[in-house]
């Protein structure tokens, strides 16, 4: 882990950003204060309707069952589940035990899941028997001592235990005391390396971030629909921590279905408060969207992906109060505009530094940040050393400019990353799969503009002389065989005779991105 300068530790404690509470302490206190608050899962596969108290009992029975099997403080509990009740129970159980929780996005394929499990060596892995395109694979978790599976017995295996059989009869009591500065969670996110990055957060950094986000929400926002996967950092915060802290009802969906969301807004009086641009545009573009739905969409907090100005302006024209933010799994709340900020700041900048957070720009415009919600580092020591300096600054790899009022605008990314609908995708990981296709001599993968998702994966390839060029269907078949998650598959293919290069022969990806942006602009004009 990185070394946090002593003066920063002193400051964060003195200013109240860091406390002696663990996540278990915070959750136990909040759950006791609002046991009857509703917790609903709106799912065709595994619907649920109960209360915070109901799920806490499941979580405490799970904690007791795992403790009986030798699981305790510091052990790793990983889960890969859709937005179901069992995901909340598993996460809460881990916090009560003082274990380290490792959520995995439920759409990750066996390649990503296998890498993560090998990297963290969990004592426990809780997953689903089947959901959508994913299904339980005993080989992937063969080295995990305890594997709990939610739903069905489609794939019986000697090592699997049905989730219900992990629950003890007598619930676990209290919260196991652990060091609040110690590791609480490892969140894996795809980045510029071919394998997912393990981002390590403490009880203090996560507790701070939970308060930061909760206090940034407009006071009259009301209960939200959470569609972001709870295996993803922001989905986890918005579903399993923030509403519990504030005693606000939880409404989860396990797939993004615009018609279902529109129905829930009317039938349950709940709102979509923002997210990646696709969430908002898919609703307002839906043929059944009406002025009645607009009454439930007062705010649109945008972030997690590139936010096109056309989207912010359009939502504003519909009467929504739009505001933008900037952060990452490593440093979740770097900057944000407020719903009360002037219009130009809300629509055209990514906000100013959040309370307790500092930013500065290098001579090249790279954004450096530090603050009490900044992670402890990565599971990869070399990556930690490369991205964090001795003064506590995180080198984001993003490029930006500051205006005269200290508001930040992201202008480019130095990192080779694609953010599709809020999900980080490593260009290198996609390239490594592409280059194994017969006939492909060289491949470059970049982000291309996408009206719905912000960005999508574009593959630019050079073909061996005399070999046939693949089409998108060929690519899809190849990526399916490789076991890579679908959101990482190329959605645009361009064949070139050669790439723009530097004098040393390196591919100039910024020029490829510029070309794709030009093509997209020309297509829009047509």
Q: What is the pLDDT of residues 446-482, one digit of tens each?
A: 999 888 888 999 999 989 888 999 999 999 999 999 9
pLDDT tops 60 at residue 191: no
Residue 2 DSSP label: P
The Cα–Cα gap between 448 and 456 comes to 5
pLDDT value at residue 220: 87
Query: What is the mean predicted confidence (pLDDT) over 41-69?
Result: 97
pLDDT value at residue 194: 56
Q: How many residues does the chain have?
A: 526
**397 contacts 412 by C-beta, under 8 angstroms:** no
What strands, in cross-sheet order, belong to the sheet with 124-128?
A: 160-162, 146-150, 124-128, 76-80, 100-103, 183-189, 197-202, 377-378
Q: What is the pLDDT of residues 207-244, one digit of tens each?
A: 999 999 998 888 888 888 998 889 988 889 999 999 99
Structure confidence at residue 267 as a pLDDT band (50, 70, 90): very high
Q: Which two tokens stand for residue 129?
A: 């028997």
Share of the chain above pLDDT 90, in %: 65
Environment class of 255 (CB within 10 Å of its CB; exposed 0-12, middle 13-18, buried 19+) = middle
More confident position, 411 or 90: 90
pLDDT value at residue 280: 86
pLDDT value at residue 304: 66
> Phi and psi for 346 in degrees, rounded to 5?
-70, -40
Domains of the chain listed by start with CATH number: 21-31+48-203 (3.40.50.12780), 417-525 (3.30.300.30)
**242 contacts 235 by C-beta, under 8 angstroms:** no
Kindly give the residue spans of alpha helices, DSSP state H, lying in 121-202.
none
Query: What is the mean predicted confidence (pLDDT) over 90-118?
Result: 93
Helices (H) and strands (E) in the chain, counts: 17, 28
CA-to-CA separations, 325 to 164, 306, 354, in angstroms, rounded: 40, 10, 10
More confident position, 95 or 486: 95
pLDDT tops 80 at residue 152: no
Query: What is the mean predicted confidence (pLDDT) over 509-519?
Result: 85
pLDDT tops 90 at residue 519: no
User: Per the confidence metrics, is the pTM higher than 0.85?
Assistant: no
Cite the beta strand spans of 117-231 per DSSP E: 124-128, 130-131, 134-135, 146-150, 160-162, 183-189, 197-202, 225-226
pLDDT value at residue 173: 97
Alpha carbons within 13 A on the beta-carbon side of 349: 24
Which of 174-178, 283-287, 352-356, 474-478 has the lowest average pLDDT? 283-287
Mapped onto helix, strand or coil, the DSSP state of residue 497 is: coil
């Amino acid at each position: 882990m990185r070394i946090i300068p002593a003066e920063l530790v002193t400051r964060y404690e003195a200013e109240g950003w860091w406390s002696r509470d663990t996540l278990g302490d915070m959750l136990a206190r909040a759950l006791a204060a609002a046991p009857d608050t509703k917790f609903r899962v709106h799912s065709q596969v595994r619907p649920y309707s109960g209360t915070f108290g109901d799920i806490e009992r499941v979580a405490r029975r799970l904690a007791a069952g795992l403790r009986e099997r030798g699981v305790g403080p510091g052990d790793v509990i990983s889960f890969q589940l859709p937005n179901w009740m069992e995901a909340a129970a598993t996460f809460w159980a881990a916090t009560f035990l003082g274990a380290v929780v490792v959520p995995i996005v439920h759409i990750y394929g066996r390649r990503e899941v296998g890498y993560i499990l090998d990297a963290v060596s969990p004592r426990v892995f809780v997953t689903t028997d089947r959901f959508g395109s994913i299904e339980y694979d005993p080989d992937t978790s063969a080295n995990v001592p305890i594997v709990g599976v939610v739903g069905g017995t489609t794939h019986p295996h000697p090592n699997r235990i049905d989730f219900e059989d992990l629950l003890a009869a007598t619930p676990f009591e209290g919260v196991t005391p652990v060091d609040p500065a110690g590791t609480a969670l490892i969140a894996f996110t795809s980045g510029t390396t071919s394998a997912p990055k393990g981002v390590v957060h403490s009880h203090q950094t996560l507790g701070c971030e939970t308060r930061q986000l909760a206090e940034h929400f407009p006071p009259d926002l009301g209960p939200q629909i959470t569609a972001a996967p709870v295996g993803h950092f922001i989905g986890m915060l918005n579903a399993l921590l923030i509403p519990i802290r504030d005693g606000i009802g939880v409404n989860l969906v396990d797939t993004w279905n615009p018609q279902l969301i529109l129905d829930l807004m009317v039938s349950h009086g709940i709102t979509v408060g923002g997210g990646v641009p696709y969430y908002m545009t898919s609703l307002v573009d839906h043929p059944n969207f009406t002025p009645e739905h607009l009454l439930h969409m007062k705010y649109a907090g945008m972030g997690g992906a590139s936010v096109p100005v056309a989207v912010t302006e359009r939502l504003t024209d519909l009467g929504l109060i739009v505001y933008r933010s900037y952060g990452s799994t490593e440093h979740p709340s770097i900057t944000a505009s407020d719903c009360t900020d002037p219009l130009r700041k809300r629509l055209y900048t990514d906000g100013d530094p959040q309370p307790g957070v500092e930013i500065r720009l290098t001579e090249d415009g790279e954004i450096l940040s530090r603050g009490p919600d900044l992670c402890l580092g990565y599971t990869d020591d070399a990556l930690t050393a490369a991205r964090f300096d001795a003064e506590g600054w995180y080198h984001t790899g993003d490029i930006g400019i500051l205006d005269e009022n200290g508001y930040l605008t992201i202008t480019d990314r130095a990192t080779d990353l694609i953010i599709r609908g809020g999900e980080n995708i490593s260009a290198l990981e996609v390239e490594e799969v592409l280059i194994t296709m017969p006939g492909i001599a060289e491949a470059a993968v970049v982000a291309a503009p996408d009206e719905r998702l912000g960005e999508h994966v574009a593959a630019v390839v050079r073909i061996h002389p005399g070999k046939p060029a693949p089409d998108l269907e060929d690519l899809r078949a190849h990526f399916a065989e490789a076991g890579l998650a679908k959101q990482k598959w190329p959605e645009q293919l361009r064949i070139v005779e050669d790439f723009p290069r530097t004098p040393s022969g390196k591919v100039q990806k910024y020029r490829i991105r510029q070309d794709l942006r030009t093509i997209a602009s020309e297509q829009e004009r047509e």
